[in-house]
Amino acid sequence: MFSSQTPRPFSVLLTFTCSFCLIMATFTAPLAVLAQDTGAEPDSAEQEAAFQAWLTEFREEALSAGISENTLEQVIPTIQQQRRVVAADRSQAEFDNSYDRYLQRVNTNRIEAGRHLMQTQGSMIREVAAEYGVQPRFIVAILGLESNYGTFPITEPLFSVIATLAFDGRRGDMFRRELLAALEIVDKGFATPEMMKSSWAGALGIAQFMPSSYLNLAVDHDEDGKIDLWSMGPDVIATVANYLKSTGWRDDQTWGRPVSLPSGGEQSLPAPQSAGMTPESTCRSYRTMGAWRPLEDWQQLGVRRSDGSPLPARNLPAALLIADEGDDQGYLVYRNFCSIMRYNPAFRYALTVGLLSDAIAGINN
């Protein structure tokens, strides 16, 4: 951890937890290391007995919360403990990989697949996105990262995944709430138990929404009486757009841009958030982004576009993010970057969305 006098925005683990994130900011530790920290894992029989006792207790809580007996009879007997998701929960690429390695997700295959999606379903995507004031390329880029545009198999049994993570305890209260939300989705007839497949983190469908976010922000855009996040269509596009809109997205701005730094800039330019202007509320929680300054101030400090040309004349507030130490790579990011961070609070993820969106649209920063 760097000192408060010289923070390294890209080297510090986020401590902010958003209301929806698919991959929250977490400490990464292999399961074997975790056992050293917390004591040996109980034997499987003891652990299974404890899990079944926990499920019995949770069933009563769900009944008290208004979940019907019929829904619980359909779901609870199918739940099985999935210990491997605990290991996955403690080892996440957003925090384990270098920036150079993680940003390789902006590759030819993903770019071309995104362009193909815009070619085949672009009219629908543009029409739906316009209703929410979000540029289509950002929605497509998010879907490209979350599920490879809906082609990545989402096959985990959601109820087993979330129940395991709730029982595990590290973020037990949060996943307990998500389990109740997942039961509510079935109870209200939005999906059948068989449809409730997820990632290892319990996120649903092409857009990878947690159950509580599905209930709060997912959209039945085609008004067919159901919210379909499992097949590419207007509900998926509207749901992602609605999420970004809820964070204050500005369609008159982009996410940011790669920049070149002056000699020694990696060391001299980072500063704490308090050293700059007060950022918008959406960005304020991300203190490790450092100081926000108008573009003209960054220009005076020697920051330039990646090709060496001057920064844009529009004097937007921007924060400077520095990637892997020693690579002299920097990024000036605007307030929309913070909206992407609300989707997943990891600098690597938000940068990848921004760069992929530019590549899909053929934008050269």
* Catalytic residue ranges: 146
The answer for residues whose C-beta is within 8 angstroms of residue 256's C-beta and 6 or more apart is 318, 331, 332, 333, 334, 336, 337, 354
Half-sphere exposure of 177 toward its Cβ, with a 13 Å CA cutoff?
10
Rg of the chain over Cα atoms, rounded to whole angstroms, equals 22
- SS3 breakdown of the chain: % helix, strand, coil, rounded to 5? 50, 5, 40
Q: Is residue 170 within 8 Å of 157, Cβ to Cβ? A: no
The label of the residue with tokens 């995104």 reads: 114
- AA identity, residue 198: S
The answer for residues whose C-beta is within 8 angstroms of residue 96's C-beta and 6 or more apart is 28
Supply the DSSP symbol for 24.
-
Strand order from edge to edge, sheet including 256-260: 292-294, 317-322, 330-333, 256-260, 304-305
Cβ neighbours around 56 below 10 Å, total: 10
Using CA atoms, how far apart are residues 110 and 230, in angstroms rounded to an integer?
Answer: 20
